[in-house]
A and B are shown apart, each in its own frame.
Chain A
Amino acid sequence: MSDSNLKKTPLNEVHRKLGGKMVDFGGWDMPVQYSAGTMKEHLRTREFAGLFDVSHMGEIHVDGRDAIPFVNSLTTNNVEKLVDGQAHYSALTYENGTVVDDLLIYRFNAEKLFLVVNAGTQDKDWEWIQSHRGNHDVDLRHASVEYCQIAIQGPKAKGILQTLTDTNLDEIKYYHFNNGEVDGVPSIISRTGYTGEDGFEVYADADKAEQLWSAMLDAGEFGQENGILPCGLAARNTLRLESAMSLYGHEISDTITPLEANLGWICKLKTDFIGRDALKRQKAEGLKRKLVGFEMTDRGIARDDFDVYINDEKVGSVTSGSHAPYLKKSIGLAFVPAEFANIGQEIKIDVRGKHLAAEIVPTPFYKREKN
């Protein structure tokens, strides 16, 4: 596929200038890493701060009198619980309870919601949402191209971002957001992220992407020893994996339900949504398989889709596996039959023909110290 066929974020040229190694990520031309490399990018985010271009994510506006009941009819979490300025993690589900996509739902007010969905699934999501509108009184707008999204993550993220905004960031609680200005640019400042660290995701007009990106790099002293680093998709993936967060197409998909993926906490089965009955039934019958975290005890790295064996029988597969740069271990997530989903259970992973030993361990693998 030639470059011209790939979609680009407003920061595409900037990534190239920063030495980004560009790859095709679900049809998007994105940096997998910059010149510092995945290891340094990952560690800098854990120890100081990292900057991520996530403008490829999809944004959908839901406005109107029925905004809340409409989104509640499509998603697993209870939108009625949100207050103005709050967001939550949720899932769009099919009738059979498997997952169309996972998403964030922001409530500006009772008649204005903002959905943030995955890049590669946004066209499918948009069609799904539109086709289930029914008689709901809502205006729907797929607004992805209008927005850039930049994530600043890490223990110093708040301090760095604070130098660029008059909004008091201490007043934005986890999974809350504010309309403010960053470097003079009107922005949605959201205390959310995908790294397991404290941090913010900033949404603004796509035209302002370069200005915001440069301002945040400068404020974080990029280029100085131990300053902020721009981080590519590889570090984004290893950071989320250490924190055992789900990635669509891996831990959740159109063949996996949220209950199987340890996401029961976002499934509010008292509200009525597409897929609820299937999830209720699955919960009543008991799960046949469960997502577990494992750590390799033999030397080696379990990669995505490797087979899992127990007592010489193939029982499941790895959904995500990698070396964990901060923990300095080889870790992964995998589906196993529920009867084996116990901490301390030994499993074997087929690593290119060799059955290497691993042990089921608690997740998340990494949890930051709250200060």
Chain B
Amino acid sequence: MSNIPNDLKYSKDHEWISVKDDVATIGITDYAQDALGDVVYIELPSEGDNFSAHDAFGSVESVKAVSEIFTPVAGEIVESNEDLNDTPEVVNDDPYGDAWLVKIRMDNSGEADALLSAEEYAEFLESEEE
């Protein structure tokens, strides 16, 4: 079973999001890293880039596949996790911790409220598997 921490919000594109004040930290879920397999390359946006909700802001590539990453919320990138350029495998080892991808200053800080709870994301995964 996938690990789905209770204190995070989730998107149907398999991103997780954690909000503090008006800054959201975004990563990919345990389910997503497992589906991708060994991650070998990550492409992240630059500080100051602006995105609308559901825009692709980067990509995560495993040996066998590439997956675009979408931001569930609109805003401006305030930090990208550049450490992952040298250690992409951390995405497999610690998707909810050291492998956060970007921090984004939200245009609308309430936007994350509408995303899935851990319980809803677990249900969504089950429905996907059927």
Contacts and interface: CB of A to CB of B under 8 A. Distances in A.
Interface stretch (B20-28, B33-41, B69-77, B115-123): B33-41
B66 interface: yes
A322 B63 CA distance: 6
Contact of A300 (B37, B38, B41, B63): B41
A301 B64 contact: no
A256 to B, nearest CB: 23
Interface string B31-63: 000000110110100000000000000010111
A38 B37 contact: yes
B66 A234 contact: no
A323 interface: yes
A299 B42 CA distance: 9
Contacts of A42: 63
Interface string A270-312: 0000000000000000000000000000011101000000000
Interface in A26-40: 32-33, 37-39
A33 B59 contact: no
A70 B117 CA distance: 66
B37 A234 contact: yes
Contact of A325 (B43, B63, B66): B63
Interface centre among A33, A301, A325, A330 (most CB of B within 10 A): A301
Nearest to A32: B64
B38 A37 contact: yes
Nearest to A234: B64
Interface residues of A, number: 18
A289 B37 CA distance: 35
Interface centre among B38, B59, B62, B63 (most CB of A within 10 A): B63
B63 A39 contact: yes
A37 B41 contact: no
A238 interface: yes
A32 B85 CA distance: 26
Given A300-B43, A352-B59, A39 B64 contact: no
A38 B34 CA distance: 12
Contact of B40 (A33, A237, A301, A352): A301
A301 B37 contact: no
Contact of B38 (A38, A299, A301, A330): A38
Contacts of B59: 352
Interface of B: 37-38, 40-41, 43, 59, 61-64, 66, 85, 92
Interface of A: 32-33, 37-39, 42, 234, 237-238, 299-301, 303, 322-323, 325, 330, 352
Given A38-B37, A323-B63, A325-B63, 10 more contacts: A37-B38, A37-B92, A39-B38, A39-B40, A42-B63, A234-B37, A300-B41, A301-B66, A323-B40, A323-B61
